[in-house]
Structure 1
Amino acid sequence: MDVKLNYKIEKEYLDNVLVYLNDKLAEYIENRRDISDSIVEYRKKFIEEYRDDDDKIIDYFDHENYKNEQIFMVVERKIKEILYLKKTPYFGKIVISEDGKEEKFYIGSYGFDVGLEVPLIIDWRAPIASLFYQGKIGSLSYTIPSGEDICVSLNERIQFLIRDGKIISMFDSEIDVKDEFLKEMLSLKSSNKLKTIVQTIQINQDKIIREDRRKSIIINGVAGSGKTSIALHRIAYLLYNFRNYFKDRVLILCPNKIFMEYISSVLPSLGEYGGVHSYTSEDFIYLSTGGDLNFNSYELHMEKILNDKEYLDEFKFKGSSKVKCELDKFILDVEENINLGGDIYFREELIIDYEELNRLFYKSFKSRAISVRIDLIRKRIFDRINKVRNSFVFKIKNKYESMKVHPDMENYYDMLMKNEIYDVVRESSDLKSSLHYLKLESSYELYREFYEDYFSKDLGDLDFGDLVLIKYIDIKFYKPKKDREYKLVVIDEGQDFSYMFYEVIKLCTEASSYLVVGDLNQSIIKFEENFIYSTRVLENKEDFTILDSYRSTKNIIDYSLKYIDNDICVNSIRNGEDVLYYECDYDNLRRLLIESINNLRLQDKTNIGIIVLNQSMIDKVYNMIRSNFYIKVINNEDHVYSDNGIFLMTVYLSKGLEFDSVLVIDSGFEDNILYIMLTRAMHKAIHIKIKNVIP
């Protein structure tokens, strides 16, 4: 078809869609006004009718708040979606043939249907939209939620760039999303929020996003490969296609609160406003242990990891499969040597003998958690004590009833009877109290016993590794009830978590599927068992490797690869400036920093990250340049990462973030730390190595 004619047809379709969008927007705005007016009017009548009944009015407003929230949530959401669609209604088009009939579908961030034969826009998550992302034309298939494959012929695949309701460009895209379009998206400035990638999802990314919902997925992707975006888009895809199954049953575990805030807008921008629970990994484990244990903050923990080798070695051991073996031995030893006592008598009457106690604990209740077994045995013993006690009380009452033959002696016998009954009740209570050994210590006390026996030292302050092991003991001894059922658990920065962490997450969530994303080369803590190995504890898993980087330029990627151990080939489609490398004495660092920052600002690099190893270097660098620039120091996870400015942060708080430009201050540390720092940069990186000893 002639290009001009094709453009004319597409412009007419776009104009038609915009008319429908405007009409629908006006309808929703009118609906919102009508709903608001009706609620206000009804409220007036209700208050007038029940003006003397305060309780009734309070109940009404409680109901009204809920009703108002629910109605307006739906209407406001629709208005937001339409306002977005008015600017960029869709970004793709597919023309398919099925059973001799040709149909056209336009693909956008949200679906839009006005009751015509075919929706004006289909949601990118719809099964048929997968044809757009498969990267080829001809005979293809897509899978519907029931699992059935639908075979079609894809005749045409068009990519649109639409801005403010106008077609900027359009082109056939037979092989993959056009490099020109992808490059334009990647050349934009960094943002304080992670953005959606629905317009540029690549073939390998789409395959992961649309994988079987029952499969656990482990992604080892290089820096900037879109791992987190894939995870969030997969959540949105699963909620769209299997909402009843996943709604309110998705858990996201983030490395820290800064990162959690950074990704917070992605799901809402994909049309998902609820049904997902987010925690930092530390908070989730902490709360699951009861939320009453004091432990080192994330920042203090990471500072010790970076600066204290003995602490690091112990932490790595506490996360290993070796400690699991030792802990399992400890648990078995506690179980085999549990103090069940001996025969129990009450007033010379046998309540339970030792053989029955053993049989109940090791056979009858074997399938239950140890604490549950003890509780069941205690209950059985207490029930029998109560039964025997009641029997004695009954006999005492009968004895004194028969003595009450003289009325003048009745009060006397009543007093004797009450005294004897009191003695029986007191003795039964004392017997129950004497069975204090039939009670398990707390998970913390059990762990302290294990730790001090194994390490031959006091436990001291708890760290995250201790919390994980306490939770493991808690599960094994107590099997606490879950607060919530999760169907999908998503773990980001997976390389920074241990074997024991994955073991505990599996045991305490029992989710039907997991999604773990990480990068082996970005491991700050090099566990003996890396996360690819450790996630073997998750069932029905498939590993994916992504070697395409979309964040940094090829120049930055190639430079950063010098600082990792393994020989990998990373693809980057964007060229840029070479990384600038400087060596300087510590005394000259201030001058070099000021010059570099000023040069970056002249180049319109408004989002600059200065990344250092630890808190000590943050203090030094901040004091050097604080009088020259406004520096936003991010030295704990409660700080907010915003759009523009000069940010000074440690490497562990920079994980997952990105900046227009990055200044890496190399104060002497492991090479892979440099890889992490450098790959935070989108467009420009400066590597400054300090040659002499830092005071």
Structure 2
Amino acid sequence: MKLNVEQRKIVELEPQGHLAVKGVAGSGKTSVAIRRVSFLKEHYCFEPDDRILLVTYNKTLLNFIHYQFNQLSEEETYDSFLSEHKTDVTITTIDKLMYRSFKARMTRLGLQLKTMTNRRQLLKVMNHALYDMKDNYKDVTILSPKFQNFLLDEIHWLKACDIQDLNVYQEIDRIGRATGSKGMPQKLHKNSETREAIFALKEHYDRLMLKEQWVDFPTINLMALREVEEHPPEGYTHIIIDESQDLTKVQLMYITHVQTDKPHQSIMFVADNTQSIYHLSWLGKGRAYTTIGFDMSGRARTLSKNYRTTTEISKAAYGLIEHDEAILSNVDFVKPALIDRHGHAPIYRFFKDHSSHLVFLKQEIESLIGEYQYKDICIVAKESRFLEDIEQYLLSEKNSSPSTQSSKTRF
């Protein structure tokens, strides 16, 4: 894991409070975060209780970080580094970190709560709440089971943003909720009866959950935040947040509450807002760092070169977003700089119907099998229902295909 000059400059910056590292995909942001841990431990952990936290959004990224540590070619390897500093360096996911605080909260309050993660079960509770409230807001058409997914997402968003007051919800901008797709409302208007009804639905939904001693993940995170707000834990001197654009506001606020107040403390946000895909994310929707208490004026560094892909792929990717005003107007947007690495350009194909699309995928896979194995081929779709259609089609066709008949790979 060798660093170039611009990456090393960021790694070796003197910690002076908060810092944002913005970069395009493949620019080495995570590599910088990993090396930053080692640098801070060696040079800026003066006191016996100094600790470092590197927190990631999900397990996949955590596994990648573990892999990267194993690939270190300089003096410290992952195993020796962690064994030497196992008590003062924590590398974990935000969910695992917050779940510990949630457990502490339950113990403190004498609660025995169960976690409900299955969406069908959550929607069942949602429909129960909708039935109970059907006569309360007769003029609010959105309070209907046909909008159950939209309403559940909105309730989760309210909790992920720690919005506990109706007046706050009535005034806040709902970024990304004005698409009007699939029969959804064009916009959740401010100071409206619709917002009032949704907020009341959230309150009743939570009551139904707690009545049966169930909690969802947004509630777990809220309880974890309350725990560290009221009972500050042993904190971290230095914190690095990788893929910070994916975290919710509650998760970001939680992290700020587990930092120790010291003159040499630091917190580094590593992000690429063009890669934000989670509807509950806070910074990824273009919101400023000031909304979580940090003024990044003069405190941002940029990595603009993509070392992972070719010039052709980088240009094609940028071409997909260059006319998106929501992305380009984001103050944290980084325009990619091209490197002298070339390859085949991506291929775009348009299909008049879904059936011809499925046939093409099957034929394309069969043409690749002579040179590649099934495990080397990846199909990506915007929505899971498309993947389910593709899976069913390939399974139905495999008896008539010699290549799929001889394969032990599961579709």
**Normalising to structure 1: TM-score of the pair?**
0.39
CA drift of 1:528 comes to: 8.7
* SS in structure 2 at match of 1:580: coil
Q: Give me the whole-angstrom Cα distance separating, in 2, the residues matched to 1:586 and 1:233.
A: 46
- Structure 1: runs of 5+ lacking an equivalent: 1-195, 329-450, 634-695
1:458 is aligned, of 194, 205, 215, to 205
Q: Give me the whole-angstrom Cα distance separating, in 2, the residues matched to 1:632 and 1:227.
A: 34
2:154 is aligned, of 302, 313, 320, to 313
Aligned to 2:33: 231
Segment drifting more, 278-287 vs 243-252 = 243-252
Aligned residues between the structures: 308
Note the alpha carbon deviations across 1:217-242, whole angstroms, 9 max, x for none: 22222222211111112112223334
Q: Give me the whole-angstrom Cα distance separating, in 2, the residues matched to 1:480 and 1:203.
A: 42
Q: 1:587–1:247: structure 2 CA closer, same or farther, 3 Å change rule?
A: farther
Note the alpha carbon deviations across 1:441-484, whole angstroms, 9 max, x for none: xxxxxxxxxx98784423135333222222233344xx2352x4
| Corresponding letter in the other structure for 2:270 | V
CA RMSD across the alignment: 3.9
Aligned to 1:550: 307
Aligned to 1:497: 247
Aligned to 2:337: 571
Aligned to 1:294: 114
- Determine if contact 2:238/2:259 at 8 Å carries over to the other structure: no
Q: In percent, how many aligned pairs have the same letter? A: 20
Note the alpha carbon deviations across 1:307-332, whole angstroms, 9 max, x for none: 932223333333337x267799xxxx
CA drift of 1:513 comes to: 1.9
- Determine if contact 2:26/2:309 at 8 Å carries over to the other structure: yes
Q: How does 1:543-692 map to 2 (within 5 A)?
A: 543-564=300-321, 565=324, 566-567=327-328, 569-573=335-339, 574-584=341-351, 585-600=353-368, 607-626=376-395, 627=398, 628=404, 631=409
- Determine if contact 2:18/2:266 at 8 Å carries over to the other structure: yes
* SS in structure 1 at match of 2:66: coil
Q: How does 1:344-493 map to 2 (within 5 A)?
A: 455-459=202-206, 460=209, 462-476=215-229, 479-480=230-231, 482=233, 484-493=234-243
Q: 1:539–1:452: structure 2 CA closer, same or farther, 3 Å change rule?
A: closer
Aligned to 2:53: 251
Aligned to 2:185: none
CA drift of 1:557 comes to: 1.8
**Higher RCO (CA 8 Å, separation ≥ 6 residues):** 2
- Determine if contact 1:215/1:514 at 8 Å carries over to the other structure: yes
Q: Give me the whole-angstrom Cα distance separating, in 2, the residues matched to 1:309 and 1:575.
A: 43
| Corresponding letter in the other structure for 1:315 | H
Matched, 1:209 2:11: yes
Q: 1:453–1:586: structure 2 CA closer, same or farther, 3 Å change rule?
A: closer
- Determine if contact 2:23/2:271 at 8 Å carries over to the other structure: yes
- Structure 2: runs of 5+ lacking an equivalent: 105-111, 127-147, 169-197, 329-333, 399-403
* SS in structure 2 at match of 1:490: strand
Larger Rg: 1
Q: Give me the whole-angstrom Cα distance separating, in 1, the residues matched to 2:394 and 2:368.
A: 15
Matched, 1:533 2:301: no
Higher strand share: 1
Note the alpha carbon deviations across 1:107-148, whole angstroms, 9 max, x for none: xxxxxxxxxxxxxxxxxxxxxxxxxxxxxxxxxxxxxxxxxx
* SS in structure 2 at match of 1:265: helix
Q: 1:553–1:252: structure 2 CA closer, same or farther, 3 Å change rule?
A: same
| Corresponding letter in the other structure for 1:308 | N
Q: Give me the whole-angstrom Cα distance separating, in 2, the residues matched to 1:490 and 1:300.
A: 35
Q: 1:278–1:572: structure 2 CA closer, same or farther, 3 Å change rule?
A: same
**Normalising to structure 2: TM-score of the pair?**
0.63
CA drift of 1:563 comes to: 3.0
CA drift of 1:216 comes to: 2.6
- Determine if contact 1:550/1:572 at 8 Å carries over to the other structure: no
Q: 1:496–1:246: structure 2 CA closer, same or farther, 3 Å change rule?
A: farther
Q: 1:231–1:457: structure 2 CA closer, same or farther, 3 Å change rule?
A: same
Note the alpha carbon deviations across 1:271-315, whole angstroms, 9 max, x for none: 2431332322122112211176433449989x99xx932223333
